Amino acid sequence: MNKIKLALPSKGRLKEESLKFFQKKNLKVVNAFGERNYFFNIKNNNQIEGIYLHAKEIIERINDGTLDMGISGLDLLKEFPEIYSQNVKLLQKLNFGFADLVVAVPKDWLDVQNMADLEEVSFEFKEKYGRRMRVATKYPNLTEAFFLSKGVSQFRIMPSLGATESYPFTGSAELITDITSTGSTLKANNLRVITDGNILKSSACLFVSKKFLNNKFLKHFK
């Protein structure tokens, strides 16, 4: 019989809370080859073949069929709904991993308090510098849709591979959108969230492959 392929987040608070969630379901995770190894088993259950992965890789691998289920973020599903919705099912929203995708500007942009202000400033910026404001983000689809819904059109997306908060400081972008749980990293980089700049409220979710929906193992999560 084929084993069930399960993935959990590989680090941080999300990993800790995922382990607690499974333990509450009487599914105790035990590391297969020591604490530093990426593989795990479920105690007294030889059906499961577990692996720790980055949250983004988890939802990608459920989508391509190499995983049956796993815990990842709602933000990742919402960023690429046309890709993931075909093969990935959101089985359950979980009560942890809360974070907001927000619009953040430099603290000294005192004339930008909301998206309407940003729209006005974006036209002034283009007139002054001959180019559109750059928005650094790991979420280009959600960001573009949100900006346009708020009437902000004079912007250019700058895809970020990491450390998005540093882009305004280095001159690589004028503002950013980023996922944050406390806002402390934004504040540390002299950024602030504008008042109506909440793009998405995210949380950890249990995702499964649609091909896996009839598997009896899922009774643990009802």
pLDDT digits (tens, 9 = 90+) for 31-69: 866 666 789 989 988 889 999 999 999 999 999 999 999
Q: Which whole-number Å values give the CA distances from 101 to 27, 30, 38, in the listed order? A: 31, 33, 29
- Residue 107 · residue 192 · CB < 8 Å: yes
pLDDT at position 51 is 95
Binning pLDDT at 50, 70 and 90, where does residue 85 land? Answer: confident
Return mean pLDDT, the chain.
Answer: 94
pLDDT at position 77 is 94
Going by C-beta distance under 8 Å and a sequence separation of 6 or more, which residues neighbour residue 149? none
pLDDT at position 35 is 65
3-state SS class at 62: helix
Binning pLDDT at 50, 70 and 90, where does residue 2 land? Answer: confident
If you average pLDDT over residues 7-30, what whole number do you get?
Answer: 93
pLDDT digits (tens, 9 = 90+) for 115-144: 999 999 999 999 999 999 999 999 999 999
- Residue 153 · residue 70 · CB < 8 Å: no
Q: How many helices (H) and strands (E) does the chain have?
A: 8, 12
Residue 1 has pLDDT above 80, yes or no: no
Domains and CATH numbers, the chain: 4-97+204-221 (3.40.190.10), 99-202 (3.40.190.10)
pLDDT at position 143 is 98
Alpha-carbon distance 133 to 108, whole Å?
16
pLDDT digits (tens, 9 = 90+) for 95-117: 999 999 999 999 999 999 999 99
Alpha-carbon distance 221 to 25, whole Å?
7
pLDDT at position 37 is 78
Share of the chain above pLDDT 70, in %: 97
